[in-house]
Structure 1
C-alpha cells in the first residue's frame, strides 16, 4: 500500500471514530434532557454477533436506562451508530433508528446489573436484534409510521399474553415528551416507541391491519396513555 493510501485510510479511520463518539454523545445528551441517564450502559460481556447473532452497525450492542419521575425508559444505543465497515454505505447513521420502551414498573429502578433480567429489557433486546437483522426496517417506518410486531416466550405481565402465548407490540406511537427524531452527525434518525398490547388489541390489529394500527395509536393518544406501557391497565378494545 502506498503512503498516500495509508494516509487516506488513517484519515478515514479517524473520521469514523470521531463520528461514532459524537453519535454516542448526542444520543446521551438528548436522553439527559428527558430524565436521568445512568453513567454506565447495559451491554454484553461477550458480543452476541460473535456467536451467530446479527451485527450492529459499529459492533456496539448497548442499551441505556433513563429514569423519570414516574416512569423509566430503556433504549437501544447503537443501532444508529455509523457503519464502520468500508463495505457498508458511507455517511449513514447505521440502521437510522433506535427503539425505546417506557414503563411504570418500579422494579426498573433497581441495580443496573439486574435490569437485563427484566421483561422490558428482554422485549427491547429482541426488538433491537430484529432491527439489526432486517435489511432496512427504516423504510417500513418511513412508509407506514405505525407498525406492529409479535413475540413469543417472553415473560411479560400475563394479561398481555394471549392464550397461544403470543405478545403484541405497537411500534411508533407518538410521545408527548420524546421526540420522534434526533439529529446525529450524518443524518436524523427515528426514535421509535414500543407499547405492549392486550390480547384483544392484538387481535384488532391483526384483523384491521394498517388502519387498525393507526386507529389504536390514536386511541392511546386520546386516552393519555400515549406510548407508555402501564403494567396494569384496561384493554381499550
Structure 2
C-alpha cells in the first residue's frame, strides 16, 4: 500500500521546530492494482494476505511472477489468481491480461489443505499457465462465451488424482473445466483498477460425461450444460461430491 506521508501542522501562536518530513512515495501501478484486487476480494469475505505460491522471475504472467489468494466466503473456500492483471510495466496502458481466475468450492477444513497441495490450487495453476501462454483469453471469452478446456495427464498430479472422484476423469486421463461459466452470484468486474477494468472469471469442474457431451456438440450443447448446472443449483461452484448432470 502506498505511503501518503503525514500532514504536520503548527499549533499555537509560536513557530515550532519540526523534523524533516517523511518522504512522499507514490504507489506504483502494480501496487495500486494489487490494492484494487484486495478490495474486491475483501468485499466477498475474509481474505488471506499470504501469497500461496510464487514462481521465479521469468513467468509468463504480466508481472513476471505468479501468486494466489485464499478467500473464505461463508462456508465456501475461494482460491483466486493474484497477478494476471498486473501491468506489464510502469508504461503499460492496460492491466495485464485484464482478467483474474478463481475456483470456488465447499470448505475443506484447514486452509493449508488448499494452499499447499490441494486440488483447487493445482487446477488453478494449470489453467492460469495456459491463459498466460495464450497471452490472455478475455477477447475469446467476449466473442464466444465460456470456454471448455481439457487438462491432460491429470493422473500425474497427486493433488488431483488423490481427491477427484473417478467420474470427473475421462478414460484418456483428462479433467474438463469451463472457463467463464456459469456466472457467479457476485459482480465479476473490478472497475477501479488503475489502467483498465478487470474481469473475474470462474473455473468450473466438469464431470467426464459433461465434458463428453460438450466434445460431441457445439456452442448450443455447451450452453445447455451450463444451463443445467445453473438449474440444478451447482452454478459456478466445484463440488467434488456432486453427481453428473449428464
TM-based fold match above 0.5: yes
Change (3 A) 1:174 1:200: closer
Paired with 2:45 and 2:177, the residues of 1 have a C-alpha distance of 24
Q: In the TM superposition, what is the alpha-carbon distance from 1:49 to its structure 2 partner?
A: 4.7
CA distance in 2, matches of 1:29, 1:120: 22
Higher helix share: 1
Residue 214 of structure 2: aligned partner: 205
1:149 is paired with a residue of what secondary structure? strand
Instruction: Please tell me whether Structure 1 or Structure 2 has the larger radius of gyration of its CA atoms.
Output: 2
Matched residue count: 213
185, 188, 191: which one aligns with 1:180: 188
Q: Which runs of 5+ in 2 are unaligned?
A: 1-24
TM-score (norm 2): 0.80
Q: Contact between 1:34 and 1:177, CA under 8 Å: does it hold in 2? A: no
Q: Report the counterpart of residue 35 of structure 1 in structure 2.
A: 45
For residue 215 of structure 1, the aligned residue among 224, 230, 241 is 224
Displacement of 1:23: 0.7
What is the TM-score of this pair, normalised by structure 1?
0.83
How much has 1:147 moved relative to structure 2? 0.6
> Residues 157-181 of structure 1: CA distance to partner in whole angstroms, max 9, x if unpaired?
0321112211100111144433222
1:67 and 2:72 are equivalent in the alignment: yes
Deviation digits for residues 69-120 of structure 1 (CA, Å, limit 9, x no counterpart): 221000000000111176xxx211101101000011414x3337x6231111
Do the aligned partners of residues 148 and 48 (structure 1) sit closer, same or farther apart at CA in structure 2, a change above 3 Å counting?
A: farther
Establish whether residue 111 from structure 1 lines up as the match of residue 119 from structure 2.
Answer: no
Query: Contact (CA 8 Å) 2:188, 2:200: kept in 1 or not?
Result: yes
CA RMSD of aligned residues (A): 2.0
Q: How far apart are the structure 1 equivalents of 2:205 and 2:139?
A: 23
Equivalence for 1:157: 164
Deviations 1:175-218 (A, max 9, x none): 44332221111111111101111111000111113222222111
- The yes-or-no answer on 1:22 pairing with 2:32 is yes
In 2, Cα distance between the equivalents of 1:185 and 1:35? 23
Q: Distance in 2 between matches of 1:136 and 1:99?
A: 11
